[in-house]
Amino acid sequence: MDDDAEWFIGRMGLFDPESRDPLLVDWRAPLSRAFYTATPLHPDGVEVRSTIGTRGWRVSSVVGEELSLSAAGDTGSMGPSALMAAVSQHRTDRMSDIVATIQGEQDRIIRAELRGTLVVQGGPGTGKTAVALHRAAYVLYEHRDRLSREGVLIVGPNPDFLRYISEVLPSLGEDSVVLTSLHTLLPGVVAQREDERDVAEVKGRLDLAKAVENAVARREIPVRAPFTITLESDQTVVLDSRDLAGLRTRMRRTRKPHNESRPTFERVFRELVARRLLSIAGRSVEVDVDPDDVTDFAEELALDDRLADAIDTLWPIVSPEELISGLLGDEKLLAACAPMLDDRDRVLLVRTADTGWSVSDVPLLDEAAALLGEDPRPAMRARARERAERERELEYAQGVLDLYTDTTTDDDGSEGTGVTAEQLAARQRHDDRATVAERAEGESGWTYGHVIVDEAQELTPLALRALLRRCPSRSFTLVGDINQSSAAHGSDWDTLLRPQLRSYRREELTVNYRTPSEIMDLAARVLAHIDPRQSAPTSIRSAGVGPEIRRVAYDTTVHEIRERAGRFLDESDGTFAIIADAELLPRLRTATEGFPPSALDRVWFGSPRDAKGLEFDEVVLVEPGWRSERGVAESRELYVALTRATQRLTILHSTPLPPELAGV
């Protein structure tokens, strides 16, 4: 520093055990901020900053930068830096942290206030994901007391992405974070397929929440009057339409979820039947009866299996899977519950029972879970077992104390212990050592202190509703690029967010650290088709070689990929990706048959949608014009595919190139 102070910045804070002087300052501490934000024009008290690279326990590099204008030269360029070294490195199958190379605009977003919703718009390669993960680490540091109890939820676009980022936060010492995608957002449900785009668009509409609500309502006393109950004693009670309507109204006034109100319904219904039987016994008209008699008789009726069957008919326990399967598997039910949909939309939604759950089904299931609530019976049984176990523990503890008292009582009769049976039993119980992340993953109704969503432009309105349910405080960081959205609802952030979020702040990332300028120039042509008003992020480096576009015979495509992949894997330690339409992938995967497992670990196959958020040293994009229909969604997917490479891009095609690349 300009006052001769010298500080060392690292992933965590370390202190001298004797003097308590700081040896290492946590990168998130206020003192560290100048390391990331200082420039020759605004040095912020910094004279020199250095980045120390290591391999194992050996120092491998020291990159120093002088922050004075005279040292920087007239252009303000600071020469080779740790940033350039980092962005030029080979990629692996796991993302690494960027603690040493956080840039000024990234630092501003990482340290932004926690309150409210922050939207971070950034083009390809601008470090959106890295910023999101480091923001998670920062808010946990800055708001430790609150977030260590509530946790932070990070939502990624797919399981591949979660594996890619899985090591970043543990390397920063954070374990109060839950990583998930929509595929596994709802405990007990794993979505293993993607719907076609038009189906996903309909399922993601906010209107569908009302359709789910209507489906739940149809499970609440669904029978018509008169409804006859014949008990095991052969006594009969007949309920008319007024009885059924009164029951339904009384239950809905509790405002409890459907399943969670079941115990209340059982009590109310048994009392109704008990009162009716007592009041008409031996009489032609109903008369008032003693409330205590009603209570006692209702308890006896709890053992009547026929009455239990009637309760199951009138107020059944329903799972989210059962509700949504029924709704989407029955055209008539769907028409009754979703009058806001036209015939074409309803045809798109009808599914068969054996297709499995899709990602766009999960928000529907989550909506159902919120309206239905948990089945209360397992929890009631668990509480009963716990009470019984506590009673056994107390009985055992009292026996120990009695034995101890018998053998240690003083001659004068005084006892040698001041411990109660409850205290002794409590000492033997194991404390719950689960982390906040482990507890949050096990509770479907858990609400988080902060939620971070990567590739947020892919959220449907109903998916956003599901996430808002998990953070009532609306403390969100939404990271994405609206120009990479593959959904019809993602034309701009306001269209996506305003119906459910009244206000949000917006920040922008403008520098591309991943994509070489030669590749970005090609991608910029596609961006101009998507939105002529948008500018591509500025690449900070050149690869020295432009993209290669080759027309090949369709039959030779697999051979071409095999040759290129083999050569790359022999010459490099980096990662190699083949991106193509999902229809082509099974055939293209044969290109790497026979490769050693160590090489296959560095090869990735996927569609443009699968590739979102990922990056690779070399990318081969196959048949970008495979699908003849072209719209904004197809242009956005092409934009994604073109911007995954950090070093080299090759396009192989036997079909004509898409219009966005015409004339290249």
Q: Is 123 annotated as a binding residue?
A: yes
Tokens, residue 36: 């990331």
Q: What is the mean pLDDT of residues 352-368?
A: 88
Residue 210 pLDDT > 90: yes
Cα–Cα dist 556/563, whole Å: 11
Neighbouring CB atoms inside 10 A of 369's CB total 26
Q: Give the per-residue pLDDT at 209.
A: 97
For 16, 25, 32, 330, the CA distances from 6, given in Å and listed in that order, are: 15, 11, 11, 71
320 has binding-site annotation: no
Which ranges of 253-375 does DSSP label H, i.e. alpha helix?
262-280, 291-301, 305-314, 320-328, 331-337, 343-349, 362-372
Instruction: Please write the tens of the pLDDT for every residue from 82-123.
Output: 677 777 777 777 888 888 888 889 999 999 999 999 999 999
Of 616, 632, 631, give the one whose Cα is nearest residue 89: 616
Six-digit token pair at 464? 């956003």
| 447 marked among binding-site residues | no
128 is in an annotated binding site: yes
Distance of CA 209 to the CA centre of its chain: 20
Instruction: Please identify which residue in the block is written with the tokens 């740790």.
Output: 82
Ligand-binding annotation for 101, yes or no, is no
pLDDT for res 276: 86
pTM summary value: 0.83
Query: For residue range 333-349, what is the model confidence (pLDDT) as tens digits?
Result: 999 999 999 999 999 99
Q: How far apart are CA 420 and CA 402, in angstroms?
A: 11
Does residue 80 carry a pLDDT above 70?
A: no
From 438, 436, 437, 417, select the one nearest 427 (Cα to Cα).
Answer: 417
Task: Return mean pLDDT, the chain.
Answer: 87
pLDDT digits (tens, 9 = 90+) for 122-155: 999 999 999 999 999 999 999 988 888 899 999 9
pLDDT interval class at 283 (50, 70, 90): very low
Residue type at 196 in one-letter notation:
E
Residue 574 annotated as lining a ligand binding site = no
| pLDDT at residue 553 tops 80 | yes
Q: How confident is the model at residue 207 (pLDDT cuts 50, 70, 90)?
A: very high
CB atoms within 10 A of CB 368: 24
pLDDT band at 420 (very low <50, low <70, confident <90, very high): confident
Q: What amino acid is encoded at 285 in this protein?
A: V
Out of 364-368, 401-405, 507-511, 533-537, pick the least confident: 401-405
- Give the per-residue pLDDT at 74: 41
Question: Which CA distances in Å does 333 have to 216, 330, 358?
Answer: 12, 5, 20
How much of the chain is in helix, strand and coil states, percent to nearest 5?
A: 45, 15, 40
CB 353 within 8 A of CB 329: yes
Beta bridge partners of 119: 478, 506
The structure tokens listed for 15 are 């202190």
Bridge partners of residue 648, in order along the sequence? 618
Lowest mean pLDDT across 176-180, 300-304, 441-445, 602-606: 441-445
pLDDT tens column, 42-59: 888 999 999 998 888 999
Give mean pLDDT, residues 227-241: 92
Which of the pair, 398 or 286, is modelled with greater confidence?
Answer: 398
Three-class SS of 202-216: HHCCCCHHHHHHHHH
User: How far, in Å, CA of 186 to CA of 362, rounded?
Assistant: 7
Residue 566 makes CB contacts below 8 A (sequence gap 6+) with: 595
| Pairing assessment for the beta strands 227-230 and 603-606 based on DSSP bridges | unpaired
What does the pLDDT average to over 61-77? Answer: 64
Q: How many residues does the chain have?
A: 664
> Would you say residue 410 has pLDDT above 60?
no
The alpha helices in 470-578, defined as continuous H runs, are 493-497, 517-530, 557-571
Query: What mean pLDDT is predicted for residues 152-178?
Result: 89
122 belongs to an annotated ligand binding site: yes
pLDDT at 245 over 50: yes
Q: What is the mean pLDDT of residues 355-373?
A: 94
d(CA 336, CA 289): 42
Q: Which residue has the higher pLDDT, 392 or 547?
A: 547
Q: Which long-range contacts (CB under 8 A, 24 or more apart) does 222-228 make?
A: 222/314, 223/313, 223/314, 227/310, 227/314
Confidence of residue 589 (pLDDT cuts 50, 70, 90): very high
608 is in an annotated binding site: no
pLDDT exceeds cutoff 90 at 229: yes
Percent pLDDT > 90 in the chain is 61
Tokens 């939502």 correspond to: 155
What are the tokens at 304?
Answer: 């009547």
3-state secondary structure of 58: strand
pLDDT at 327 over 80: yes
